Amino acid sequence: MKLLARTGFWLLVIVIAFFALFPFYYAIISSFRTGSALFSVAYWPETFDLSNYFAVFERQPFGRNILNSIIVSGSVVVLSLALGITAAYAFGRIAFRGRSLMLMTILAVSMFPQVAVLAGMFELIRSFGLYNTLPGLILANLMLTLPFTIWVLTTFMRELPKEIEEAAFVDGATPWIVVRRVFLPLMAPAAVTTGLLAFIVSWNEFLFALTFTLTNERRTVPPAIALMSGSTAYELPWGTIMAGSVIVTIPIIVLVLVFQRKIVAGLTAGAVKG
Amino acid sequence: MADVVLKNVQKSFGRVKIIHGVDLDIRDGEFVVFVGPSGCGKSTLLRLIAGLEDITAGELFIDGERVNDLVPAKRGIAMVFQSYALYPHMNVYDNMAFGLELAKSSKAQIDAKVREAARMLQIDNLLDRKPRQLSGGQRQRVAIGRAIVRDPKVFLFDEPLSNLDAALRVQTRIEIAKLHSDTRATMIYVTHDQVEAMTLADRIVVLNGGRIEQVGTPLDLYHRPANLFVAGFIGSPQMNLIACEVAGVGPDEVLVSLPSGGTLSVPVAPETLQPGEAVTLGVRPDHVRVSPQGSLTGRVELVEELGENHLLYVDMGQGRRLTIREPGDARHEAGSTIALEIDRTSCHLFKASGEALPSRAGSPRPAPSSPDLTRVA
Amino acid sequence: MIMSSAVAQAGVSAQHQARGRSSSLTRSRVRAAWLFIAPSLIVVTLIAGWPLARTIWFSFTDASLNDLSDYKFIGLENYLANYDGEWFGILIEPDWWHSVWNTLWFTVVSVSLETVLGIVVALILNAAFPGRGLMRAVILIPWAIPTIVSAKMWSWMLHDQFGVINDLLLRLGLIAAPVTWTANADTALWAAVMVDVWKHTSFMALLILAALQMLPQDIYEAAKVDGVSPVRVFFRVTLPLIKPALLVAVIFRSLDALRVFDLIYVLTSNSKDTASMSVYARQQLVDFQEVGLGSAASTLIFLIIALVVVITLAAGRVRLGEDPR
Ligand SMILES: Nc1ncnc2c1ncn2[C@@H]1O[C@H](COP(=O)(O)OP(=O)(O)OP(=O)(O)O)[C@@H](O)[C@H]1O
Ligand SMILES: [Mg+2]
């Protein structure tokens, strides 16, 4: 009976792990197959052909797309954290009139459907002359990351002991110095967590990137992959698409493996404590 | 060096009033200790003086200057917190230097001050450590060091020793006393611990429910509690409080009839007291003696041996209980019946309002054995 | 860059205030609070509040994408209008209602599946076994992979001719002929659900796991001593205790699923039959350049989601901004 339970348990573990990993595994082996080999199903890696990986960079500016994604996501993370930490200090530790209402509004914004701001955002980005530019995407992505950054950092900020802040005030610190010299170092782990989440959100963003860019050179990775087309309009270049997918997924997987604990902490801080 | 004057200081959190008008005059160089039951507002009062909370009404002067509207750093104070509140990411040196650095002191000046304070507190070998690498006692020294380097006019301590173990508490207490005698700075100190209060204080402020019950020297409070609250709060074990009735009044004494029969003449000024009025008789456990000639009798319920002395809990009938402290080892067992005698000259008498009647017994005699002032929670 | 210098300025003036003579700590902190949130407030207003307001405004106009400055106010005509006894407008548009139905169906089915599977995964991860940390990372991977990439991977796996899933099912004898998973409206939504479950079960599981780990252990020991069966313990003890966290997770996921775009857009190739609300709105806005109609759809989506949010907040499940400092 006990043996049965243990076997069942491990079976379940294996099934879950298989379900979680198989699509990625399959993408990898597909990315190593070309031409007509793709038109048969393979379960095991048979060939190790890198031509799809070369093709993905030759047929379109995929390197440029990756660079765009890095620039956009990196800027979004930096801006969100810079704005978020000061705001989180105010929201998390200072009682002022309207605080709850504003925090509630910010939480509500983080639940906005993206499409609800699409028309207005399009107009805004055009009027700033940012259509089909990376700054335009950065600005748009802030709408996705800033509210939850503020929210998550606020929940972390609340947990820091109040005496440390008071000791700093007695020492002659101003609120700005408290944030910069005392809380910023203490918030570093929380900032890493939140920054990772913001990075992943921005790295994966599709709707804005699809709508606010026009040319292949300005696209980030998600629309670049979504819009990859082959030599004929009817046949999608699956091998290349899988190669591109593998390339952009590997850094994310590394991030997840390295920062697993931090990501989980951020996810649950934003939701459970909220 | 500075005096601290509170004029009708009040504090409300939202609609709840926590401090109900405190008037207090703390002299330059004085060591004042705030005591009182948990939640009475000791910390709040200290934080009002520090400037960490806004004063709702009233005025606060430090060194003659009205400081109601000054931020903590401008008040010339330094504060030591119960939780140490060290900056976890800075080493000991930087923890102590932070305030000076913010005050734009020169590097050399900072270095001199930090090292001197560290030497004084014997933490000069720890300057490179982070707070988490320190023991509780070392952390508290760093916190004190951080206060010292600021050269404050007033030191504020909020239960600085309560996270330390008993031996370290005694040691650090002595160091704080030494710090006071060295610097002659004004110090305000909040504690739960009666020994700390009695040993450190020039004057003790007893707070209750956001009001001052009494201000006085430690012995003043012990020998001449102004009211029932202070009488019950100061001294351990607690003073015996016995509900009585006035049987008669003389010019310098009041005759009370004891609940268990008999009368006792207490040498206090009767003021407007009339026979028949309800009063409370207060007598410390040290001032009740077991004596064959005693007019009171009771049954020993429990004996507690403390070594140098012992406590007897005596049932006086009708659920009334008397605590007695006698020197040496106990000579009576639980269950035995003993006769007791009350030292009438050391008795206190409180009116129904709780106020004490002025004693007419001359200067109080010292207690037979030094009172064991243990911590009351 | 504009923002960071604003923050710096906020700092400078906060410092200035503290040096000022008549400024208590509370007042200087409150002033600092406003300076600290000002940049964020400005940004959020600019990139969320203003665009939303413009979208709502556009929904009352006949604006078109190629010239957003040339439009006229047409009242509620995008929503509902009557010309010569005939009704027009999005509110009687079958395609719109179809997309609403698709979205609701997708949300209910995928969130339900994710909840049940999430509980199972969370219970497994809550047990102590070697490799538990690795397992946690493994289930996080689908969540972290860009939705577009997941959609593409699954499209390939679900390919009607060369897909591994058809191949597998054929070999197992579960189907007689290859299924056109993504091209057929009936199976396409199921395919979308499958990918969504693959991607988001881990999110659900992690939130539930966090709640599980906060449960006091002694109840379980007590139940063990009393000989209560594990299944009973789960339904009688665990489930009621994690219910608040479960609710939060379900709400978060539902709000997310209601605005689904990427997955359906890529997986079912922008088809009308499987469109979600967001796909429909973007199609009007961008593909047909009908900013007025598209904005009307966007506004409706916003209202639907706002309604869900308001109901949730009103139900008091989400505690907000309590006890600062
Ligand atoms: N920020 C605050 N908001 C509301 N009420 C408060 C606040 N700070 C303190 N109080 C209340 O004021 C009262 C006095 O608190 P205070 O901390 O001064 O007590 P204390 O005498 O220091 O107690 P203890 O000995 O337990 O430290 C308590 O009832 C407390 O609940
Ligand atoms: Mg206190």
ipTM for the assembly:
0.88
| Whether residue B243 sits in one domain with residue B224 | no
CA distances from B99 to B71, B102, B110, B132, B150 (A): 14, 5, 9, 20, 7
Domain extent for A91: 62-230+258-268
Closest CA to B225 of B42, B234, B211: B234
Residue A88 in any domain: the answer is yes
Mutation target among B48, B62, B67, B79 for the A interface, most CBs of A within 10 A: B79
Q: Is B87 in the pocket of ligand 1 (CB under 6 A)?
A: no
- List of E strands, chain C: 81-83, 86-88
Q: Is B191 in the pocket of ligand 1 (CB under 6 A)?
A: no
Q: Exposed (0-12), middle (13-18) or buried (19+): which is B292, by Cβ within 10 Å?
A: exposed
Residue B98 in any domain: the answer is yes
Q: How far apart are CA C75 and CA C58, in angstroms?
A: 10
Q: Is B40 in the pocket of ligand 1 (CB under 6 A)?
A: yes
What is the DSSP track for C234-279? IIIIIHHHHHHHHHHHHHHHHHHHHT--HHHHHHTTT-TTT--HHH
Q: Identify the CATH number of the domain in which residue B350 sits.
A: 2.40.50.100
Among A45-49, A60-64, C307-311, which stretch is predicted with the lowest mean pLDDT? A45-49
Q: Which residue bears the tokens 């009044």? A: B249
Provide mean pLDDT across the span A58-62: 86
CA of B206 vs chain A CAs: smallest distance (Å): 25
Q: How far apart are CA A233 and CA A228, in angstroms?
A: 10
Q: How far apart are CA A92 and CA A82, in angstroms?
A: 16
For the stretch A111-137, pLDDT in tens is 888 898 999 999 999 999 999 999 999
* B24 CA from centroid of ligand 1 (Å): 20
Residues of chain C contacting residue A23, judged by C-beta atoms under 8 Å apart: 142, 150, 153-154, 157, 198
Q: Is B290 in the pocket of ligand 1 (CB under 6 A)?
A: no
Q: C101: pLDDT confidence band, cut at 50, 70 and 90?
A: very high
Provide mean pLDDT across the span B70-92: 92
Q: B373: pLDDT confidence band, cut at 50, 70 and 90?
A: very low
Q: How far apart are CA A180 and CA A151, in angstroms?
A: 19
Nearest CA to ligand 1 atom 2: B13
* Partner residue opposite C28 with nearest CB, options B52, B53, B71: B71
pLDDT (0 to 100) of residue A41:
73
Q: B362: pLDDT confidence band, cut at 50, 70 and 90?
A: low
Which 62-81 residues of chain B touch chain C by CB within 8 A? 68-73
* B161 CA from centroid of ligand 1 (Å): 19
Backbone angles phi, psi at B125, to 5 degrees: -90, 0
Mean pLDDT of chain B: 90
Residues of chain A contacting residue B78, judged by C-beta atoms under 8 Å apart: 170
Q: Is B43 in the pocket of ligand 1 (CB under 6 A)?
A: yes
The answer to whether B73 faces chain A, any CB pair under 8 Å, is yes
Q: Which residues pair with B216 in a beta bridge?
A: B204
Closest-CA residue in chain A for C281?
A: A115
CA distances from B344 to A93, A117, B359 (A): 57, 86, 11
Taking chain C, what is the end-to-end CA distance rounded to the nearest angstrom?
Answer: 29
Provide mean pLDDT across the span C51-79: 86
Q: Are strands B186-190 and B31-35 parallel, antiparallel or unpaired?
A: parallel
* Contact check, Cβ <8 Å, A172/B77: no
CA of A105 vs chain B CAs: smallest distance (Å): 25
Boundary residue ending a domain (B169, B197, B229): B229
CATH architecture of C93-289: Orthogonal Bundle (1.10)
Nearest ligand 1 atom, CA B192? 25
Residues of chain A contacting residue C255, judged by C-beta atoms under 8 Å apart: 111
Spatial neighbors of C252 by CB under 8 A, at least 6 apart, are A271, C203, C207
Q: Is B83 in the pocket of ligand 1 (CB under 6 A)?
A: no
pLDDT score of B24 more than 70: yes
* Number of domains chain B is built from: 2
Q: Is B38 in the pocket of ligand 1 (CB under 6 A)?
A: yes
* Contact check, Cβ <8 Å, C298/A119: yes
Residue A122 in any domain: the answer is yes
Q: Count contacts between B and C (CB, < 8 Å).
A: 22
Q: How far apart are CA C95 and CA C111, in angstroms?
A: 24
pLDDT (0 to 100) of residue C290:
87
| Whether residue B156 sits in one domain with residue B107 | yes
**For residue B17, which ligand has an atom nearest its CA?**
1
pLDDT (0 to 100) of residue B366:
44
* Partner residue opposite C55 with nearest CB, options A94, A119, A272: A119
Q: B374: pLDDT confidence band, cut at 50, 70 and 90?
A: very low
Q: A107: pLDDT confidence band, cut at 50, 70 and 90?
A: confident
Burial A227-237, CB ≥16 within 10 A → b, else e: ebeeeeeeebb
Which 101-130 residues of chain B touch chain A by CB within 8 A? 102-103
Residue B310 in any domain: the answer is yes
Q: A219: pLDDT confidence band, cut at 50, 70 and 90?
A: very high
Provide mean pLDDT across the span A238-243: 88
Residues of chain B contacting residue C22, judged by C-beta atoms under 8 Å apart: 69
Q: A270: pLDDT confidence band, cut at 50, 70 and 90?
A: low
Other Cβ atoms closer than 10 A to A34: 19
Residue B372 in any domain: the answer is no
Q: Is B13 in the pocket of ligand 1 (CB under 6 A)?
A: yes
CA of A168 vs chain B CAs: smallest distance (Å): 8
Closest CA to C185 of C270, C244, C256: C270
Q: Is B39 in the pocket of ligand 1 (CB under 6 A)?
A: yes
Q: In what order do the strands lie in the sheet with B309-315?
A: B288-290, B337-342, B296-305, B309-315, B321-327
For the stretch B172-231, pLDDT in tens is 899 999 999 988 999 999 998 888 999 999 999 999 999 999 999 999 999 999 999 999
H/E segment holding residue A43: none
Nearest CA to ligand 1 atom 7: B13
Q: B302: pLDDT confidence band, cut at 50, 70 and 90?
A: very high
Backbone angles phi, psi at B21, to 5 degrees: 70, 85
Q: B370: pLDDT confidence band, cut at 50, 70 and 90?
A: very low
Closest CA to C259 of A119, A112, A143, A141: A112
B152 vs C230, residue with greater confidence: B152
* Contact check, Cβ <8 Å, B81/A166: yes
Residues of chain B contacting residue C324, judged by C-beta atoms under 8 Å apart: none
Domain extent for B101: 4-229
Spatial neighbors of B262 by CB under 8 A, at least 6 apart, are B295, B296
DSSP state of B128: T
CA distances from B313 to B293, B374, C226 (A): 19, 17, 44
| Whether residue B136 sits in one domain with residue B117 | yes
Give the whole-number percent of chain A exceeding pLDDT 70: 95
Residues of chain A contacting residue C213, judged by C-beta atoms under 8 Å apart: none
Mean pLDDT of chain A: 87
**Which chains contact C through at least 3 pairs of Cβ atoms less than 8 Å apart?**
A, B
CA distances from A110 to A27, B260, C111, C277 (A): 32, 74, 19, 19
| Whether residue B334 sits in one domain with residue B242 | yes
pLDDT (0 to 100) of residue A271:
57
CA of C270 vs chain A CAs: smallest distance (Å): 12
* Partner residue opposite A256 with nearest CB, options C141, C164, C295: C141
pLDDT (0 to 100) of residue C316:
57
* Contact check, Cβ <8 Å, A169/B71: yes
CA of A84 vs chain C CAs: smallest distance (Å): 7
CA of A94 vs chain B CAs: smallest distance (Å): 12
A239 with A30: CB under 8 angstroms? yes
**For residue B47, which ligand has an atom nearest its CA?**
1
Q: Which residues pair with B65 in a beta bridge?
A: B62
Mean pLDDT of chain C: 82
pLDDT (0 to 100) of residue B180:
94
**Which chains contact B through at least 3 pairs of Cβ atoms less than 8 Å apart?**
A, C
* A100 CA from centroid of ligand 2 (Å): 28
CA distances from A57 to A50, A240, C302 (A): 12, 9, 39
Quick one: tokens of C213? Answer: 């780990």
Quick one: tokens of A115? Answer: 């499409």
Closest-CA residue in chain B for C24?
A: B69
Q: Is B42 in the pocket of ligand 1 (CB under 6 A)?
A: yes
Q: C206: pLDDT confidence band, cut at 50, 70 and 90?
A: confident
CA distances from B119 to B79, B122, B126, B168 (A): 20, 5, 10, 19
Q: Identify the CATH number of the domain in which residue B69 sits.
A: 3.40.50.300
A240 vs C17, residue with greater confidence: A240
* Number of domains chain A is built from: 1
CA distances from C88 to A164, C60, C95, C97 (A): 64, 14, 13, 14
Pocket test for ligand 1, best of B11, B18, B35 (most atoms within 8 A of CB): B18
Closest-CA residue in chain C for A83?
A: C40
pLDDT (0 to 100) of residue B371:
40
* Contact check, Cβ <8 Å, C3/A79: yes
Amino acid letter at B231?
A: A
The answer to whether A182 faces chain B, any CB pair under 8 Å, is yes
| Whether residue B246 sits in one domain with residue B186 | no
Q: Which residue bears the tokens 């599709």? A: A206
H/E segment holding residue B192: none
* B41 CA from centroid of ligand 1 (Å): 6
Q: Which residue bears the tokens 């973007």? A: C282
DSSP-derived 3-state class of residue C322: coil
pLDDT score of C272 more than 90: no
Q: B101: pLDDT confidence band, cut at 50, 70 and 90?
A: very high
Backbone angles phi, psi at B137, to 5 degrees: -65, -40
Q: Which residue bears the tokens 């020993």? A: B300
| Whether residue B82 sits in one domain with residue B32 | yes
| Whether residue B41 sits in one domain with residue B167 | yes
Q: Are strands B254-257 and B240-249 parallel, antiparallel or unpaired?
A: antiparallel
Other Cβ atoms closer than 10 A to B269: 15
Residue B121 in any domain: the answer is yes
Quick one: tokens of B101? Answer: 């650095």
pLDDT (0 to 100) of residue B376:
34
H/E segment holding residue C20: none
For the stretch B55-79, pLDDT in tens is 999 999 999 999 999 999 999 999 9
| Whether residue B217 sits in one domain with residue B95 | yes
Residue B32 in any domain: the answer is yes
**For residue B20, which ligand has an atom nearest its CA?**
1
Provide mean pLDDT across the span C59-68: 84
Q: How far apart are CA A47 and CA A38, in angstroms?
A: 11
Q: A51: pLDDT confidence band, cut at 50, 70 and 90?
A: confident
For the stretch C2-51, pLDDT in tens is 334 444 444 444 444 334 344 688 889 999 999 999 999 999 999 999 99
C260 with C189: CB under 8 angstroms? no
Helix, strand, coil shares, percent, chain A, to 5: 80, 0, 20
A144 with A80: CB under 8 angstroms? no
DSSP-derived 3-state class of residue B202: coil
For the stretch C105-129, pLDDT in tens is 999 999 999 999 999 999 998 888 8
B40 with B90: CB under 8 angstroms? no
Residue A23 in any domain: the answer is no
| Whether residue B251 sits in one domain with residue B213 | no
Residue B205 in any domain: the answer is yes
C282 with A211: CB under 8 angstroms? yes
| Whether residue B270 sits in one domain with residue B222 | no
Give the whole-number percent of chain B exceeding pLDDT 70: 95
Nearest CA to ligand 1 atom 6: B13
B149 with B114: CB under 8 angstroms? yes
* Contact check, Cβ <8 Å, B69/C21: yes
* A166 CA from centroid of ligand 2 (Å): 15
pLDDT score of C325 more than 80: no
pTM for the structure as a whole: 0.85
Q: Identify the CATH number of the domain in which residue A97 sits.
A: 1.10.3720.10
| Whether residue B256 sits in one domain with residue B204 | no
Q: How far apart are CA B30 and CA B222, in angstroms?
A: 19
B155 with B78: CB under 8 angstroms? yes
Residue A236 in any domain: the answer is no
Spatial neighbors of B377 by CB under 8 A, at least 6 apart, are B38, B192
Residue B26 in any domain: the answer is yes
Quick one: tokens of C94? Answer: 């079958």
Q: How far apart are CA B43 and CA B212, in angstroms?
A: 14
Backbone angles phi, psi at C268, to 5 degrees: -110, 20
Which 7-66 residues of chain C touch chain B by CB within 8 A? 18, 21-28
